[in-house]
Every structure is written in structure tokens, then in C-alpha cells.
Amino acid sequence: MQPLHKLLFAILAVSFVTFVALFGRLPALRKTPIGWLQRALCLHAPNRLRKIDSKITGGRVTLKSQRLGQYLFYESNPVVVILFLILVTGSAGLFLWNAYALLSTSLLLPLVLLLPAPYIFTYLCVTHTSHFLPLPAYPPQPEHYPYDHILFRPNTTCRTCDILKPARSKHCSLCHRCVDKCDHHCPWVNNCLGRGNYRWFLALLLSLPILEFYGAYLAWTIIRPYISVLPENPFFSWAHFTDLGDAFVRAINVGGLSIAGVSLLAITTAPLPLALLAYHCYLIWAGMTTNESQKWADWRDDMADGLVFVGSKAVLRQHFATQGGQRELAQMLGLDGETGSIDWPIESDMVCVRTNDGQPPRGQEGMWRRVWRLEEVENLYDLGGWGNLVEVMMGR
């Protein structure tokens, strides 16, 4: 039983560390204990180890670690995808090899759909390329979304790709391309998630925990006959919990590593993709991507400092047309001749600007109003919870 105790502890520890590393950077958790742990784990601890290594080996271990980290996390590579597929395949194969003969056909039948699903959705995420924006030698950039003049402004050029960036796009330094409606680059699928394949990523996040929970249920059906407790002991008594622990030990001994161990791995890791799915459901409800949520977080901080002002595009365009001499500011705000019009359900006349001194642009003081909260600003891309979900499911 001792090895299984250690296995369970290791699984829980790895799951917790993974959760902190993945979710601690999110704007919503940045100022919570999870965010503090993430900085301690990913920033302060490496800095302390770097100082120790500098004294002992002259920094050689740090240099090799940085090269490995650069390859794994800052270069496009299939290592994480391969490890993920090996883990899923190995766990499922080990479980079915030992549990197949112990399960009825009716219990095995759902696996025909559940088991291939993560592989299919991973493949669709990995192989998708239509969200990469064309390079200068190819046709003009697609324009699927209007510029909101807050997060995205027209006439913004990507210095790497040398193209005008459409609204909601972002350059990915790992893929070396600009991505349409970029959410984030995911090492899990070795690809950027954006317009077209974001829905398959959500399907992957949903299919994986369903498979894990069902696998844990199958293991439960096998070991359940060996779990029995004395009914005469009160539920909240020490004798009841001791009896329950003994029954659990017997069940683990019956299932072994291939059944009980795999089910423990499944039940303790399933909350990770579920938590990530819940976060992305929130993003869909709010009408924004991961990239945009980070931009909104920066605007929120500047609003709290009193550095953000909101104005009317129509009023400012008329002002620039009649006054002249402020072409640079008009270009910076994207109000010097926005090209084309996008068929979008929502229109907004709002434009935002942030200043360094907390004062509105000079000579236009009466045209700007200071805002202190995000609630005072319109999100042009929020079509409502259901509308946002339809857009995502349609690959838009």
C-alpha cells in the first residue's frame, strides 16, 4: 500500500503545481494566493536557484536549463503534445488491458465514442492553419471584425509580418505569424488557438475530463464489491473513518496500479481541464479572448489610476477635419480614415485614450470624459452570452 500512497501524493502534488503554474497568471487570479504562489514558483524560486547555481557551478546548470526552457515553452515544438498523447494512450491501454475482462459490454460500449474524442480534437487543433493571416505577397487580410478603437485600432502594422493587423489579431512569436482572433498559443496542441480551431480546443477540454470521469467510474464498478463498512458505526465517528480507510486499502489492493492507480490519476487530473474549460466559458460569456482579457486588465489598472478618457469618434473626426494640425493624434487614435465597414450586429461611437499625466489631450479637454471602471466602457465584441457562444461554435 505504501507505493500507492506515494503515487496518490505525487499525482495530487503535480496536479496542484500544474494548476498554479497555468492559472496563476490569469488576470482574475493575479492578486490572489494562487497568483502569489505562481510568482513564487515561476519567478522567485528560479531566481534563488539561479543565484545558488552561480556560486556552485558558475551558472552552467542555469544556462542549460534556460536553453531547455526556451525550447519547451518559447519555441514551437511537439514535445508536450507527444507527452500528452503518450500519457492518455498509456493510461487507457494499461487500464483496458487489465479491466476489459471484468467489464460488461454495456459498460465498454461508450468507450467507442469517448476514447477517440480527445485524439480527434487534438488532431483538429494541431493541424488547423486557416487562422494564420496571409503574408504581404498574398491577397489582402480578411476583415471579420470591426475595430473597437480601444483594444484594436486601424492602420496598425505588424513589424514582423509587415501586414496591417485586422481587429482581434495578434502576432505569435512561437508560430512566427499573425493569428486571426488570437486567443493564445497552446503548447498542449503546439499551435495557436484562434478563429476556426478555438472550438476544437473547447471540445478537447470537455472530452478529456468526460473520458477520465467515465474511466474512474469503470474502476469503481470493479472495486465496489470489495468496499464494505459496518453500518452500526456513526458516520462522523473515528471508527467509521477507520473502517472506510481499511475498505479503501482492500479495494486498492484488488485494483492494483493498472486499475486503481489509473483511476486515481484520472480523478485527480480531470479538474484541470475542467477548470480551464470553466475559465474559457467565462471568456465566451464576457465576449473576449484570453489575449483581450489581458488587454482589458491593463486598461482596468490604468482606469483605476485615472489615466483613461473616453470620447466620441464622430465628434473627434469632425474636430480633426476642421482644426487640422493634429494628424499624428488622429493616426494614433485610428481616426484618420478607417477603411471599409464590417457587417457587425453592434455599433459603437466610443474611443478610448490613456495619457501619462492623467490629463485629457490638450486642446480637446471638452471632448473627453475620464472613466474609472471597465463598466463605463463598451465591449464591441460582446454579443451576449448566447450570441458569443454561437460565434465560437460556428468557428468565427
| Interatomic CA distance for residues 25 and 190, integer angstroms | 20
Which residues are CB-neighbours of 211 under 8 A, at least 6 positions away? 114, 115, 117, 118, 266
Nearest to 371 by CA among 311, 301, 316, 308: 308
Burial group, residue 275, by CB count within 10 angstroms (0-12, 13-18, 19+) = middle
Nearest to 181 by CA among 158, 165, 201: 165
| Whether the Cβ atoms of residue 354 and residue 372 lie closer than 8 Å to each other | no
Q: What is the 3-state secondary structure (H, E, C) of the chain?
A: CHHHHHHHHHHHHHHHHHHHHHHCCCHHHCCCHHHHHHHHHHHHHHHHHHHHHHHHCCCHHHHHHHHHHHHHHHCCCCHHHHHHHHHHHHHHHHHHHHHHHHCCHHHHCCHHHHCHHHHHHHHHHHHCCCCECCCCCCCCCCCCCCCCCCCCCCCCEECCCCEECCCCCEEECCCCEEECCCCEEECCCCEEECCCCHHHHHHHHHHHHHHHHHHHHHHHHHHHHHCCCCCCCCCCCHHHHHHHHHHHHHHHHHHHHHHHHHHHHHHHHCHHHHHHHHHHHHHHHHCCCHHHHHHHHHHHHHHHCCCEEEEEHHHHHHHHHHHCCCHHHHHHHCCCCCCCCCCCCCCCCEEEEECCCCCCCCCCHHHCEECCCHHHCCCCCCCCHHHHHHHHHCCC
From the candidates 182, 186, 192, 352, which is the catalytic residue? 186
| Whether the Cβ atoms of residue 41 and residue 17 lie closer than 8 Å to each other | yes
* Residues facing 192 on adjacent strands: 185
Is 192 designated active site? no
Q: Which residues does the annotation mark as catalytic?
A: 186
